[in-house]
Chain A
């Protein structure tokens, strides 16, 4: 089984209209080369699910500037004025979700759950239209799973089976999103042979990763 593909082959896997997860937090731990190639390709009408929309110059923000999304689901867009402009002018639909809820919705999708119950957002406008479920006297919001067609993520180190290791604060959404997409493509800084990563330090098991792109540092 060869998971290693080149960047063009990776971008071929993302079709117009797809829902995509993009890993990273304000661009830290984002798959920058895949993002640049997707900007170049110009794939359109995508739905983005990502923690934030980076900045106009960094990370997933470049795809926003290039108007490749019809809808954005994120916890924070304040660092990218273009996202706010597109939302205000009705060009792009934006759905804001609390960060802890967003990651749990993705985890639910990948981990076989029908959703999660969280107290976050109770009593606010965000909760409007959401089902409230009472468990042992406490109210929770039902938050449903969020799936994607393709996840593009970044890792510090991978073996050729796709076992991933992340340095520092780059794990963020990368780890969980890998479980919830039909196809997960990991851009890796360092690619090693199978057996060269100690199984004790694998953060993302390779079974969640369909394809690898050797990104270099």
Chain B
């Protein structure tokens, strides 16, 4: 299994039956593929519906039904369409249980930067600031480092998308919980040692006893 699928599969284990979940673009979108069969998760698409389903067969394709990345999708029975005011009322109003997003940087206070690199890449925040502010739980799903450069920092130095927002960080190396004391390494991928995970993390990881082995099933 490739690294991104591994991360997505671990994230999917967090959900409980009946949760409303919003997935960001990229790696987070893959999480939908790994939700356990006995768990019914409802996905929101911030462009205007809940009940997001899988990609359509060619004969099912409807150009009016796309995800927030503009990719054609289907809706599941029980879905509902709405306008952007309702969509962001759902998001800001605390009705979304989990949002899963990628990040450029996360720090030990749960601050997150994921919408711009000044002078280089300024795509805009889209719905990310609202999701980070309004979702009950925020999971960052990302590769632990960016080609060797560290992303889990003491303090983010890129413009923040939100402050004190992140609850859990899931990478190919482990699962890190953001707590008032700092970042706690809860689970570790057995392919790595605690020292290796720490070496790939600028922030000091808090180890309480022995981290559990990262399980996908």
A167 to B162, CA, bound (A): 33
Contact indicator A168/B65 (Cβ below 8 Å) = yes
CB-CB under 8 A from B64, the residues of chain A are: 28-29, 156, 167-170
| Partner pick for B126 among A76, A104, A176, CB 8 A cutoff | A76
Contact with A along B56-96 (1 / 0, CB 8 A): 00000011111011100000000001111101100110000
Given contacts A76-B123, A96-B124, is CB(A175)–CB(B83) below 8 Å?
A: yes
**Interface SS, B side:** loop
Q: Is B198 an interface residue (CB 8 A)?
A: no
Contact indicator B129/A126 (Cβ below 8 Å) = yes
Contact indicator A172/B45 (Cβ below 8 Å) = no
Contact indicator A124/B163 (Cβ below 8 Å) = yes
CB-CB under 8 A from A202, the residues of chain B are: none
Contact indicator B129/A28 (Cβ below 8 Å) = no
| Partner pick for A99 among B66, B69, B126, CB 8 A cutoff | B126
A82 to B206, CA, bound (A): 45
Q: Is B48 an interface residue (CB 8 A)?
A: yes
Given contacts A122-B163, A169-B47, A169-B49, is CB(A75)–CB(B85) below 8 Å?
A: no
Q: Is B103 an interface residue (CB 8 A)?
A: no
Residues B92-126 near A (CB distance < 8 A): 92, 119, 121-126
| Partner pick for B127 among A77, A84, A98, A107, CB 8 A cutoff | A98
| Partner pick for B160 among A123, A169, A203, CB 8 A cutoff | A123
Q: Is B46 an interface residue (CB 8 A)?
A: yes
Residues A124-176 near B (CB distance < 8 A): 124-126, 156, 166-176
Q: How far is the CB of B102 from chain A (nearest CB, A)?
A: 13
Given contacts A100-B88, A176-B85, is CB(A123)–CB(B124) below 8 Å?
A: no
Q: Is A216 an interface residue (CB 8 A)?
A: no
Q: How far is the CB of B121 from chain A (nearest CB, A)?
A: 8
CB-CB under 8 A from B69, the residues of chain A are: 26
| Partner pick for B122 among A29, A52, A84, A103, CB 8 A cutoff | A84
Contact indicator A103/B84 (Cβ below 8 Å) = yes
Contact indicator A75/B126 (Cβ below 8 Å) = yes
Q: Is A121 an interface residue (CB 8 A)?
A: yes
Q: Is B202 an interface residue (CB 8 A)?
A: no
Q: How far is the CB of A54 from chain B (nearest CB, A)?
A: 9
Closest to B63 in A: A28
Q: How far is the CB of A169 from chain B (nearest CB, A)?
A: 5
Closest to A175 in B: B83
CB-CB under 8 A from B70, the residues of chain A are: 25-28, 79
CB-CB under 8 A from A107, the residues of chain B are: 85
Contact indicator A123/B88 (Cβ below 8 Å) = no
Given contacts A118-B92, A124-B161, A171-B81, is CB(A100)–CB(B130) below 8 Å?
A: yes
Contact indicator B66/A28 (Cβ below 8 Å) = yes
Contact indicator B122/A172 (Cβ below 8 Å) = no
Most buried by B among A88, A107, A126: A126
A29 to B82, CA, bound (A): 13
Q: Is B171 an interface residue (CB 8 A)?
A: no
CB-CB under 8 A from A122, the residues of chain B are: 133, 163
Contact indicator A96/B122 (Cβ below 8 Å) = yes
Q: Is B54 an interface residue (CB 8 A)?
A: no
Contact indicator A99/B122 (Cβ below 8 Å) = no
Contact with B along A166-194 (1 / 0, CB 8 A): 11111111111000000000000000000
Known A78-B124, A98-B130, A126-B129; further 4 A-B contacts with Cβ < 8 A: A75-B126, A119-B92, A120-B133, A172-B84
Can you report 24 A-B residue pairs in the complex whose CB atoms are below 8 A from each other?
A29-B64, A52-B124, A75-B127, A76-B124, A76-B125, A78-B124, A84-B121, A96-B125, A99-B88, A99-B126, A99-B130, A100-B129, A100-B130, A101-B129, A103-B83, A123-B160, A123-B163, A124-B159, A124-B161, A124-B162, A168-B81, A171-B83, A172-B83, A175-B83
